[in-house]
Amino acid sequence: MRFRKLSATAAAAVLAVAGLTACQSKGGVAAIIDGHRITDSDVAGYMTRKAQPFPAQDANGGTISIAPRVFVLETLLDERVYTKILQKTPNGLPDEAQLNAAKEQLYGTTADADIAKQYVQHGYTSALSKHALRVQVLLEVIKSEAQQGLDIQSVLAKATPDVTVSGRYGKWDAKNLQLSTDPSAGLPDFVSFKSRPVTATDTTAPTS
């Protein structure tokens, strides 16, 4: 079974934060984005006890693993970040026809239920798959608009969200709109549309 993971984003490279343990308090705040609180309980609600680290590509094309809780938080943050980016574009948020076209570009005729199975089989809830799918679709729309000449840097200047993240998950990089850790850990650098078009890449999920 394969997960779809983005090799780079409109605003940042792939988040890769490892080392969070499963034994964390569920009562704290994981992050706040534009006044919206995402709690530890919210994050835990998208996982089961069998949640596996999520595979992603590093800067050298190798595979790194994102801790489950961090992957969930990244997904929830990305959804709001990409929504805000699109709200600031000349065309605004995409309509259902655009969203469906972007989804078909990524997954063809694969049903949402089959996409959800990829997450469920690796310890995440079907509810998370809906957020993850929307993240991928929104990013595909952003990519398409950038390839048609949209000045992403200008849009990002108007779309910067107000984000704080608990140190248990990483540190929010406001300049690059990403969660980050010590760069000496070999994480990929920020990649913008200006320097290289975004591509979506399939990576194989870890086996049980």
Q: Read off the pLDDT of residues 2-26 as tens digits, 9 standing for 90 and up.
A: 444 433 333 332 222 222 223 333 4
pTM above 0.75, yes or no: no
Q: Read off the pLDDT of residues 108-119 as tens digits, 9 standing for 90 and up.
A: 999 999 989 989
Task: For residues 144-166, give the mean pLDDT.
Answer: 86
* 46 contact partners, CB below 8 Å, separation of at least 6: 72, 124, 125, 127, 128, 131
Cα distances (Å, whole numbers) of residue 168 to 6, 19, 28, 31, 79: 23, 10, 10, 10, 20
Nearest to 10, CA basis, from 203, 201, 202, 195:
195
Q: Between 200 and 38, name the one with better pLDDT.
A: 38
Confidence of residue 58 (pLDDT cuts 50, 70, 90): low
Task: Count the Cβ atoms, other than its own, within 10 Å of residue 171.
Answer: 15
- 144 CB burial (10 A radius; 0-12, 13-18, 19+): middle
Where are any strands of DSSP class E within the chain? 2-6, 29-33, 36-39, 54-57, 63-66, 163-165, 171-173, 178-180, 200-204
Confidence of residue 170 (pLDDT cuts 50, 70, 90): confident
What pLDDT is recorded for position 166? 92
Domain boundaries, the chain: 2-204
